[in-house]
Amino acid sequence: MSKAAPAKKRVAAAPPPGCTLDIKDPQVQRAAIRIQASYRGHRSRKELREKGPPRVLEPLKDVVLIEGSAAKLTCRISAFPDPFIRWSKDGKELRDGPKYRYVFEDPDVVALVVRDGELADLGQYSINVTNPFGQCSDSARILVEVPAKIQKGPSNTKARKGTTVTLTAEIMGEPAPDVGWTKDGEDIDEDDRVFFEIGSTTTTLTIRRATPEDSGKYEVYVENSLGMDQSFARVDVA
């Protein structure tokens, strides 16, 4: 019986040029850090899938909504099994539809999109997350910005001498606008006879014991950081 030939000792081939790694090389160290971070991220995502009550990982933040545009409230949660999501505004539940859109982005990110922004959208928005193991919630505000506007200007007025004249304008704006009145292009100096008041949605100019000298062209103007508006009315006292 013949003997087998002795096995040849293998010699490791030298790596091709450019394939050696220097662990002290900053680029190699940065790559290692990225790999570790990726692994930690994978481990974190795996941990997120553990059964238990939902948790808020990144809370909602206040959002500024410009009139006519859309705003999005975003929240990152941990919940497994998959949770039931409910959004509400000032305590009233919002239905998923054309105005309010429920959005599910990543497995752990949910959002609410509010479309066609208007002043009525200002308020406190809440998310409630529920699964068989419990529930959690969070809230934030949508702050609406609306250019100053005069919804309805004052009407031309004819009055008798000695009566009281009132000019009223319907206004809006967020932030609340500055309001002023002028007569024939000059600012009105208020006193106990001629003065104006500013409410949340209206402004009223009052002229007591009107005289013919009070006749003229009156202007009301509103202005905030987003815009300005004005309206005119004629007053005739005889």
pLDDT digits (tens, 9 = 90+) for 70-114: 999 999 999 888 889 999 999 999 999 999 999 998 778 999 999
Query: What's the token pair of residue 113?
Result: 């999109």
Nearest CA among 166, 173, 165, 189 for reference residue 230: 173
Measure the CA–CA gap between 13 and 154, rounded to whole angstroms: 94
Task: Give the other-Cβ count within 10 Å of 217's Cβ.
Answer: 13
In this prediction, residues 180-193 reach a mean pLDDT of 96
What is the CA angle 230-235-238, rounded to 5? 175
pLDDT score recorded for residue 15? 55
Compute φ and ψ for 151, nearest 5 degrees: -70, -40
All structural domains of the chain, each given as residue ranges with its CATH number in brackets, are 48-146 (2.60.40.10), 153-237 (2.60.40.10)
At residue 236, what is the residue type? D
pLDDT digits (tens, 9 = 90+) for 6-64: 545 555 555 555 555 565 666 655 655 565 555 445 444 554 456 789 999 999 999 99
Do 185 and 191 meet the contact criterion of CB atoms below 8 Å apart? no
In this prediction, residues 115-144 reach a mean pLDDT of 95
Measure the CA–CA gap between 220 and 180, rounded to whole angstroms: 6
Exposure string over 96-115, b if 16+ CB within 10 A, otherwise e: eeeebbbeeeeebebbbebb
Measure the CA–CA gap between 60 and 44, rounded to whole angstroms: 21
Measure the CA–CA gap between 117 and 34, rounded to whole angstroms: 41
